[in-house]
Amino acid sequence: MKQASNHLLLCDDDQSLSVVIADFLRTKGYTVDRVSDGDSALDKIGSSYYDLCLLNLNMPKKDGLEILAELKMMEKLLPVIVITDSSNLEVILSAYENGCDDYMIKPLSIELLVYKIEAILRRSRIGFTAREVDYVIGKKHFNSANQTIDGQHMSTRESDLLQLLCQNKNNVVDRHLILRTLWNNDSFFAARSLAVYINHLRKFLAGSGAIIQGVHGRGYKIIY
């Protein structure tokens, strides 16, 4: 049984599917709030604390990509699993670029959804803080507990990825290891998403003197 603190927001205008998903998640011990449009989703996120959001991309008033963009502007460090009926690569990459943590394509496997939720919540709770919390990366300071670089907020996945690289400073971290650790799979979409997040980190580290180097056919390493 999950702890009551695991409070989820389900944003989907497909009422029948939304009810089924919410009821199933409640049997697993989650507290679930449901909304059916983008404006209501942002109102809920602004007024309540949630551990994770399940977000349909196609909703009235504001769509999922608009909500992700607003969450980024609000600096809301809220894990998001995107739900979409599209397998279009550009749509999925846009969701990742705007800060989603994972995605699922309809029709959903609710059992797989639960596994994804548990994996993301587990990472959110423990991250990689078993080792260091503070890192001096060249001229910049990274705090993995607060998920900040020189006060700039990062998403959970950005922070976890940077910490994994820092723990292996000057050594190549295998791409498949990164994907299995942080994405729970090493699919083509996950690999493309990793490349997007590496670019995010390079922007955070601009001016630090540190570099993230891609090693062809192997993975990535941070050098500082």
What is the arithmetic mean of pLDDT over 63-83? 84
H, E, C per residue of the chain: CCCCCCEEEEECCCHHHHHHHHHHHHHCCCEEEEECCHHHHHHHHHHCCCCEEEEECCCCCCCHHHHHHHHHHHCCCCCEEEEECCCCHHHHHHHHHCCCCEEEECCCCHHHHHHHHHHHHHHHHHCCCCCCCEEEECCEEEECCCCEECCEECCHHHHHHHHHHHHCCCCCEEHHHHHHHHHCCCCHHHHHHHHHHHHHHHHHCCCCCCEEEEECCCEEEEEC
Q: Does residue 149 share a domain with residue 62?
A: no
Are 150 and 98 in the same domain?
no
- For residues 132-142, average pLDDT: 89
14 and 121 share one domain? yes
> What local confidence, expressed as pLDDT, does residue 27 receive?
92
Number of folded domains in the chain?
Answer: 2
CATH code of 162's domain? 1.10.10.10
The reply to whether 2 falls in a domain is: no
CA atoms of 188 and 195, how far apart (whole Å): 11
At 166 the pLDDT is: 92
Residue 9: strand pairing partners: 33, 53
- Convert the pLDDT of each residue in 39-68 to its tens digit: 999 999 888 878 899 999 989 899 999 999
User: Do residues 100 and 173 both lie within one domain?
Assistant: no
Does residue 119 share a domain with residue 17?
Answer: yes
pLDDT, one tens digit per residue, over 177-196 is 788 778 867 678 888 899 99
- 10-19, 97-106, 196-205: least confident range: 97-106
Give me the domain span that covers residue 208. 134-223
Q: What is the CATH number of the domain that holds 72?
A: 3.40.50.2300
pTM confidence score: 0.60
If you average pLDDT over residues 27-32, what whole number do you get?
91
The model's confidence at residue 132, banded by pLDDT at 50, 70 and 90, is: low
Q: Which of 96, 126, 156 is the last residue of a domain?
A: 126
Percent of the chain topping pLDDT 70: 90
